[in-house]
Every structure is written in C-alpha cells, then in structure tokens.
Amino acid sequence: AQSVTQLDSQVPVFEEAPVELRCNYSSSVSVYLFWYVQYPNQGLQLLLKYLSGSTLVKGINGFEAEFNKSQTSFHLRKPSVHISDTAEYFCAVSGLIQGAQKLVFGQGTRLTINP
C-alpha cells in the first residue's frame, strides 16, 4: 500500500526566510509525486510534480522539490518566503491501486509567514 507522511503539521517562519516542508512516502512500485497548495477557503492548486527525469523539480511561485529515492522523500523548499505563501501544503503520491491511478495525500502542513 502507498502512504504519505508530512512530518510537520505546522511550520511558522518569518518573511524572507527559507523554508522546507518535509514529505516522506512509502510505495512498492514506481510513483509520481506531487505538491499541492491550498490557500484559505480555496481548492487545491498544483505547485509542482515529479514524474521522471531530473530529481530537482521547479514549480510555481519559486518553490522547488527534490525527489530522493533512497530516502523515499520529496521535500518542498523555497529560499525566501512571502506573506502570500501562507497556506496549507499537501504532498501526494500517485500510483496504480486496485487497477486505477489514484492519489494518496499526506495530512497537510500549515505554513504561516510572520512579518
């Protein structure tokens, strides 16, 4: 079975500081990995995805993530955050489950940017 663990439920940082949101996954098969962002009272928006190729993936709004197969991790980073980055972030793994492609989500990490 596939599962995703987001190691921090809340991450407070100051504006312009760097941030890392941690994500570990477990899967017995090849997977695709995603980070979604949810701004307050909105739906989920794709930040970035890893399907294959380069392990460093760049996404929107200056975010990037690195796929590490040996450590089964897909941590999300941004070198300098802005107030507008305040949101909840979800890591997800996509794989073939019972014959259909499905997404399994982590519990979410609430990122709060303080001025």
CB of 93 to another protein, least distance (A): 10
Task: Decide if residue 94 touches another protein (CB under 8 A).
Answer: yes
CA distance 30 to 32: 7
Task: Decide if residue 101 touches another protein (CB under 8 A).
Answer: yes
User: Nearest CA to 27 among 70, 67, 72?
Assistant: 72
The answer to whether the beta carbons of residues 77 and 60 sit under 8 Å apart is no
CB of 98 to another protein, least distance (A): 8
Q: Residues 9, 68, 80, 114: which binds another protein (CB under 8 A)?
A: 9
Q: Residues 32, 59, 77, 112: which binds another protein (CB under 8 A)?
A: 32
Judged by CB, which is closer to another protein: 19, or 23? 23
Query: 107: alpha, beta or left, given left = phi > 0 and alpha = psi -120 to 50?
Result: alpha
CA distance 102 to 35: 15
Strand partners, 26: 3
CB of 112 to another protein, least distance (A): 15
Task: Decide if residue 106 touches another protein (CB under 8 A).
Answer: yes
Task: Decide if residue 43 touches another protein (CB under 8 A).
Answer: yes
